[in-house]
Amino acid sequence: MSTALPAPEFKPFNLALIQLGQITADKSANLKHARSMIQKAASGEGIGEVKGKPDIIVLPECFNSPYGHVHFPVYAETIGFKHGQAYDVQSSVSESVKMLSEAAKEAGVWLLGGSIPERDASDDKLYNTATVYSPQGELVAIHRKVHLFDIDIPGKIKFKESETLTGGSTTSFFDTEFARIGLGICYDVRFPELAAISARQGCQVLIYPGAFNTTTGPLHWELLQRARAVDNQVYFSMCSPARDLTAKYHAWGHTLVMDPMGVKLIEAEDGEYILHVHIDPKAFHEARAGIPVTTQRRFDVYPDVSKGL
């Protein structure tokens, strides 16, 4: 998605990230638990630097279903969101969208509702899709995971989302009264172009629901987030499910937030947590003033990836 509109002024805000546990085969139970954790986050429960109620709450990747390509067709819901068109949540056939909209409205917060398996009714294709709600409960943006997680590390992990999913074909962000926030999902973090495009479209903060694993998590989870934060001089955060050793897929956990200098502001361990962190534009402006890469790029030597979209 591209836009001519300038980004909102970056103002201080409070971010809460829910490293959700108890993601089972029972979708209704998953939704109920997620809703109660959103209420807890909104009331300030959790760890970290809490300065009042959060302005935005984030859930992890695939929060309503077990994670795996065999599960996506079973749990997929039709959303029917179209960029630039109003969305009527009341008539939505997605129970997850309805729950998330109600939860955002009752808490009076922005809600990045992690991701869910989505079925596009027009062609039956499946996507891994993040949805975003305003404090009034409107569905304002979605992001379909662009890069599918297809890896094979012999003896360690083999995963092929493309067995059942299709990759999204747009970059995505949404505007709040305190920041422009860029979206991606998990494996998208390995593709620096996506974050660079969001940053050059004016996003001051990038948040990706994610679910790394116990092989690539210790190697790359923190490194990639620090890299995306530093190379774009933005706040960068990924929100993971809690680790569940009874599940087939062992999520890494370790939800964290990097500031624009690559300083880690908070990090969970691997259990269920609500993390609260205060996001201060000062660090963003200081990083850009002190190390002015945003004005030193040489688009006469290499192309600007954000152009031509």
Ligand X SMILES: O=C(O)CCC(=O)C(=O)O
- Which residues contact ligand X (rule: CB under 6 A)? 61, 149, 186-187, 190, 211-213, 216, 220
Shortest CB 211 distance to ligand X, Å: 5
Burial string for 253-275 (b: 16+ CB within 10 Å, else e) reads bbbbbbbbebeebbbbebebbbb
Question: CA-CA distance, 66 to 79, in Å (whole number)?
Answer: 19
Q: Which has the closest alpha carbon to 223: 205, 238, 243, 206? A: 238
Shortest CB 62 distance to ligand X, Å: 8
Read off the amino acid at residue 151. Answer: I
CB-based contact 67:243 (threshold 8 Å): no
Question: CA-CA distance, 109 to 164, in Å (whole number)?
Answer: 33
Question: CA-CA distance, 165 to 1, in Å (whole number)?
Answer: 21
Shortest CB 242 distance to ligand X, Å: 15
- The H helix count followed by the E strand count for the chain is 8, 15
Asked whether the CA dihedral 66, 111, 222, 199 is positive or negative, the reply is positive
Q: Which is nearer to ligand X, 42 or 211 (CB)?
A: 211
| Three-state DSSP state, 26 | coil
Of 62, 186, 203, 239, the active-site residue reads 186
Phi, psi (degrees; rounded to nearest 5) at 37: -70, -35
186 is catalytic: yes
Question: CA-CA distance, 139 to 146, in Å (whole number)?
Answer: 20
Shortest CB 169 distance to ligand X, Å: 17
Question: CA-CA distance, 59 to 61, in Å (whole number)?
Answer: 7
138 is catalytic: no
The long-range contacts involving 78-86, CB below 8 angstroms and separated by at least 24 positions, are: 78/118, 78/119, 78/120, 78/121, 79/118, 79/129, 79/131, 79/139, 79/142, 80/121, 81/131, 81/139, 81/142, 83/1, 83/141, 83/170
Q: Which residues are catalytic?
A: 61, 145, 186
